[in-house]
């Protein structure tokens, strides 16, 4: 992965953006990573991946809760805002 300092990214912004279209580019400031620039396609692929992962986790959790006997009424009672 290519690394640009924040100043290099600012000074060579066109090159920075072009490079990010080909591969993720790390941005550092004072020797610390402060960001990663990725292409729109890579960003969308990550969003889809994590949304699918969350959906699977929620489905598995719901199935487990149902198998353990949790009813919709019990769930509503647990989630009720009693403040």
Whole-model pTM: value is: 0.68
Assigned token pair, 72: 């919709």
**Interval 17-45: pLDDT, tens:** 999 999 999 999 999 999 999 999 999 99
SS3 percent helix, strand, coil of the chain, rounded to 5, is 65, 20, 20
Tokens of 47: 């969003």
Mean pLDDT of the chain: 94
Lowest model confidence (mean pLDDT) among 34-38, 58-62, 78-82:
78-82
Domains by residue range for the chain, with CATH = 2-38 (3.40.1620.10)
- pLDDT for 4 equals 97
């Amino acid at each position: 992965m290519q690394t640009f300092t924040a100043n290099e990214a600012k000074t060579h912004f066109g090159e920075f953006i072009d490079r990010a279209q080909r591969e993720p580019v790390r941005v550092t400031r004072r020797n610390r990573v402060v960001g990663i620039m990725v292409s729109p396609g890579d960003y969308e692929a990550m969003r889809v991946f994590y949304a699918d992962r969350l959906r699977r986790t929620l489905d598995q959790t719901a199935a487990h809760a149902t198998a353990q006997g949790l009813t919709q009424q019990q769930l509503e009672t647990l989630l009720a805002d009693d403040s």
